[in-house]
Amino acid sequence: MSFPINKRRTKEKKSDVRGVQSIELGSRLLEALCQEAEPMMLKDLAKISGFAPAQAHAYLVSYKKIGVVEQDAETGRYFLGPFAVQLGLTAMRTMDPMELAREAVSELSDRTALNVAIVVWGSFGPTVVQVEESGIHINMNTRPGTVYSMSGTASGLVFSAFLPEQEVKDAMAQEKREPAGSGRVGTSRFVGRREIEQIREQGFATVESPPVPGVHAYSAPVFDHSGQIVLAITIIGQDHFIEPRADSEFIPALLETTRTLSFGLGFRASKG
């Protein structure tokens, strides 16, 4: 690999250890283009990303060459180019939300010593697909395949709050028609608009009277890049263990996990 001048060669050698600085600097320009969603003038783009215009221009020349940035021929403004979407597709193709979720819940369970469940939206409602057992807490009614009540469980309430309203209405109506002994966990009850709004606002759900007495659960949603709920993560533990530390420790840890996961799936909380 030959570089045009010696100075650069030594710079690149050093970078073998600590990475290549210009890649990390340059990404600030791309980050700015992602954030603005509008074609941008060089001077604004440079200003936002903390570059001198000439320096930003040098980066943009190269980003244009690799196709990640385009420049409007008439206005001279910059915007994301076709390679941006190809990179996005590459990530979408190889990224497996369930695999990322499994890693995340395993960490969360280790950290909190709680049982942690991954719950997805199935044909019959909120469905457990994985349970990470801490080994300390016995959990008799949560296993892969368990279907939760929409209104009588923490996980169900998360889907009730974050799925499209029509789907929630249909699912709740279906649940009410079920005969006793259908095997669904949790008892159907009325959920008011205020409760739903509170869940949306605080970003997690729980129920006052849990399906298993003495066991409490808290559940939070994971979103994808289009803002749709992909799954819920639910922490479950015995009252005497989970309740004293829920607000101070466990709920923040749960939310940190779901937010990191959502972020990794491309989700950005809408601006303002």
Partner 1 sequence: MVEGARGIQSVEVSGRILRALARSARPMMLKDLAEDADLKPAQCHAYLTSLKNVGFVRQDWATGLYSAGPFALRLGVSWLNGNPQTAAAKLELKVLAEDFGVMALIVVWSSFGPSIAHTYAGWTQASLNLRQGSIFSVTGSANGRLFAAFGGAPEIAPMIEAELSRKAQKAGIGEDVETEDFPERIGEIRAQGYSVAEGRPIPGVNAVSVPIFAPTGELAFVASLIGSAANLPVGRDAPAVLRMLQLGRTLSATAADPGTRQKESAE
Residues that bind partner 1 (CB under 8 A): 1, 3-4, 8, 12, 15-24, 26-27, 30, 33-39, 57-59, 61-63, 65-68, 74, 79-81, 83-95, 103, 121-123, 163-164, 166-167, 170, 224-226, 228, 263-266, 268
Compare residues 177 and 240 and give the one whose CB is closer to partner 1. 177
CB of 167 to partner 1, least distance (A): 3
Q: Which is nearer to partner 1, 33 or 207 (CB)?
A: 33
Shortest gap between Cβ of 57 and partner 1 (angstroms)?
6
Query: From CA 63, how far away is CA 60, in angstroms rounded?
Result: 5
User: Closer CB to partner 1, residue 25 or residue 253?
Assistant: 25
Q: Which is nearer to partner 1, 62 or 202 (CB)?
A: 62
- Give 195-215 as a DSSP string: HHHHHHHHS-B--SS-SSTTE
Triad 257, 119, 88: Cα angle to 5°: 60
Report the residue number, 167 or 197, with the smaller CB distance to partner 1.
Answer: 167
> Cβ of residue 52: shortest distance to partner 1, in angstroms?
13
Alpha helices in 67-216 (DSSP H): 82-94, 97-112, 154-162, 165-177, 193-202
Helix, strand or coil for residue 126? Answer: strand
CA separation for the pair 30, 32 (Å, rounded): 5
* Least distance from partner 1 to the Cβ atom of residue 207, Å: 23
Q: Which is nearer to partner 1, 127 or 142 (CB)?
A: 127
Q: In the complex, what is the shortest distance from the CB of residue 252 to partner 1, in angstroms, rounded to a whole number?
A: 22
Burial class (CB in 10 A: 0-12, 13-18, 19+), 188: middle
Yes or no: say if 114 and 242 are a contact pair by the CB < 8 Å rule: yes
Cα distance between residue 109 and residue 248, in whole Å = 17
Rounded Cα distance, 116 and 49, in Å: 40
Q: Which is nearer to partner 1, 209 or 226 (CB)?
A: 226
Q: How far is the CB of 208 from partner 1 (least distance, A)?
A: 27
Tell me the closest approach of the beta carbon of residue 64 to partner 1, in angstroms.
Answer: 8
122, 84 contact by CB (below 8 A): no
